Structure 1
């Protein structure tokens, strides 16, 4: 267990999600239209469940045009080991949620920051982990502005793709046709690796769970003035300590 310095802590909060959103994005983020505003900010969480709660909260605050895109899920025709694909119903396939796989139901609004989940065009900067801001929603394509990397500010078009979960996760090969995007007001700590931000909120309703994860989260910010940490217990009360995970084997030969 380690103590977090007082100047970094959010100590009072009746509504934890509202509190950390206000610290990182301010009271009127829904009125922001400048891409640079979202380029420099993010909330980080250890788990996808907490990321989804924050993203849904912030998405509901935006006032831009909204669309919900539903994926088309099926068993890959090349999977000859499953002769009777009728065993896996559409409802079963639709409910599969995995890190790196776009959800069956993708709710988006104009102005939303999103993250690419697949490499589309590396030369143009459209790689897994690239952050974008949506500027237009059409039925079969999405227009966006690149927020990160050497091509930031460039306008791009994102199509639907056939995306598959990592092999070995299921006893069949699945195929999901969906936009390879995830809402990115908040993101998991693992997905934030390689990014440098001016304002970072670290939301810890549960402790980190792997070696180096806390270090990665705290080192995404350019200076400690832009870092805020909210640690809460199971009753939702702010705490001053959190757990750091370190493999003891690291120290054996020191």
Structure 2
């Protein structure tokens, strides 16, 4: 819903309909509608409980074990808390993208479906299987090192280099 302001008029209310607001996309905000089911891997977009390792910056990944209307039960699959059962509540989220000229909130789960992740999100994790898709050259040597150092065995590593030449 659009945030109330002193300058909001009836014209603004007709332009910023729920359908319009639901269609807005921002990099730090989940889409208005996401399809979830038990067993799907997810990643957190917000810090929920730092002491339990439920943080956005650590690339915490989880598997959904049960779905509710107001809470999701999930099992942590990365970090030192792997195997721990956690609960993810719906939260009020607002975009911080400065390209969006209006302020609004969405009450939703702070998660994204995560079958894959960026090299930066994988920092600090040890993974038994890593597949690396390089559509363009790696930005820097440090990024390639980060990607390669996540893997625990050679047998679990695959790389695909996409070259249009």
TM-score between the two structures when normalised by the length of structure 2: 0.81
1:220 paired to 2:150 = yes
Q: Unaligned regions of 5+ residues in structure 2, if any?
A: none
What do the CA deviations read for 1:229-250 (whole angstroms, capped 9, x no partner)? 123356xxxx9xxxxxxxxxxx
**Structure 1: stretches of 5+ with no match in the other structure:** 1-73, 240-254
The corresponding residue for 2:95 is 165
In the TM superposition, 1:36-75 aligns within 5 A as 74-75=1-2
Tell me which of the two structures has the higher relative contact order, counting C-alpha pairs closer than 8 angstroms and 6 or more residues apart: 1
Residues in 1 aligned to 2:145 and 2:45: alpha-carbon distance in whole angstroms: 23
CA drift at 1:209: 6.7
Q: Aligned pairs, how many? A: 160
Deviation at 1:80, TM superposition (A): 4.8
Q: Aligned-residue CA RMSD in angstroms?
A: 2.4
Measured in 1, the distance between the counterparts of 2:139 and 2:102 equals 29
CA distance in 2 between partners of 1:88 and 1:208 (Å) = 41
For residue 156 of structure 1, what is the aligned residue in structure 2? 86
Residue by residue over 1:187-245, the C-alpha shift from the partner in whole angstroms, topping out at 9 and shown as x without a partner, is: 223322222211100123x31574444443233222433210123356xxxx9xxxxxx
Q: Secondary structure at the match of 2:19?
A: helix
2:38 and 2:67 in contact (8 A); partners too? yes
Counterpart for residue 193 of structure 1: 123
Distance 1:143 1:124 in 2: 14
Match of 1:139?
69
C-alpha distance after superposition, 1:148-204 (max 9, x if no partner): 223222211111111122242322222121111111221223322222211100123
